[in-house]
Amino acid sequence: MTAFELKQDKIPVTLITDTMVGYVMQNRMVSRVIVGADRVLATGHVFNKIGTLAVAILANHFHIPFYAATPHSSFDLKARPDEVAIEERDPREVAFVGDHRIAPEGVQILNPAFDMTEPKLITGIITDLGVIEQPLGENIVRIFGRGR
């Protein structure tokens, strides 16, 4: 969907699968990374779709700027990182394609929907109020205050 929208807006786009991320970063085919954020804490911890943490680690390893983009309404200034529950999705999403089982019977399945990216891996957070740069925690508190 994102590739479609970028193409419609005449923004150059190359579609890859998630397992190609390391390859394209290693080969300097990426100049910066921008991901969404479902929730951002006052500490700068970002919660987003599963896989975001792995992309952030790779970007950090290859010295590629990593940004999260989200509206200011996604900031949770009260919760601590250890208080955020990660949604566990239905194992059938992994075990089946349509009605066809692809995972062996009896295999345990882990299917978290989100992961948490630590602020030290994030270059900045792009919001409708502007870009919040490092140090994220200090700058989030400066912009939003202590809690809402």
In this prediction, residues 4-29 reach a mean pLDDT of: 94
Instruction: Pick the catalytic residue from 18, 38, 99, 115.
Output: 38
* This prediction's pTM: 0.91
**H helical segments located in the chain:** 2-8, 21-26, 52-61, 92-95, 136-144
Q: How far apart (Å, rounded) are the C-alpha atoms in residues 25 and 32?
A: 9
Catalytic residue at 38?
yes
Domains of the chain in start order, with CATH, are 31-82+114-144 (3.40.50.10470)
The model's pLDDT over 116-128, given as tens digits with 9 standing for 90+, comes to: 999 999 999 999 9
The model's pLDDT over 29-53, given as tens digits with 9 standing for 90+, comes to: 999 999 999 999 999 999 999 999 9
The model's pLDDT over 56-80, given as tens digits with 9 standing for 90+, comes to: 999 999 999 999 999 999 999 999 9
Residue 147 pLDDT greater than 60, yes or no: no
